[in-house]
Amino acid sequence: MGDESMGFEYFVIAFVVGVPAVFGLAAIVLGIRRWQRVQRLHRDGHRITAVVDGNQREARSERSDVFLPVVRFHTREGRDVRTALDSSPSHREHLTDVPIEIVYDPADPQRAVPADSRGGGLFGAVAVGLFFLASSAGIWFLVTTTGFLD
């Protein structure tokens, strides 16, 4: 390969190897941070029974929508709160007027999770992150062993 194309080759390799690596690391870091927030909420939050008041629809892809339960509850301080539980997505609407145990942040009652949620998606985030890191390492291995840069 000519000397004039070496800069472009390194750019392509950095992009093809770097983007999956950065995405994988970001997935792992964000998954761990979410897990820590859920754990902190369970440790420091207030547990209470809320009532499912409705559904919040979110488009996740072209053909797939998910529904988040919207709950209503009164804090210990008497404040009336209505919030969506983003850790409980479902492809079907949640039944309304159903009681659900939640844990909420007393400083910000809009931040709430179901009382039975513990992981916050940690396993999935780490699995996705490791997949992208392994893909990145595999691409790097192929590039360096096949003589692509020679």
Question: Any idea which residue has 């897990």 for tokens?
Answer: 35
Quote the pTM value.
0.71
Question: Any idea which residue has 């797939």 for tokens?
Answer: 64
pLDDT digits (tens, 9 = 90+) for 28-66: 999 999 889 889 999 999 999 999 999 999 887 777 888
**Of 142, 123, 149, residue with least CA distance to 34:** 123
Distances, alpha carbon 13 to alpha carbons 20, 64, 73, 133, 136, in Å: 11, 34, 53, 15, 10
Torsion of CA 21, 22, 27, 32, to 10 degrees: 100
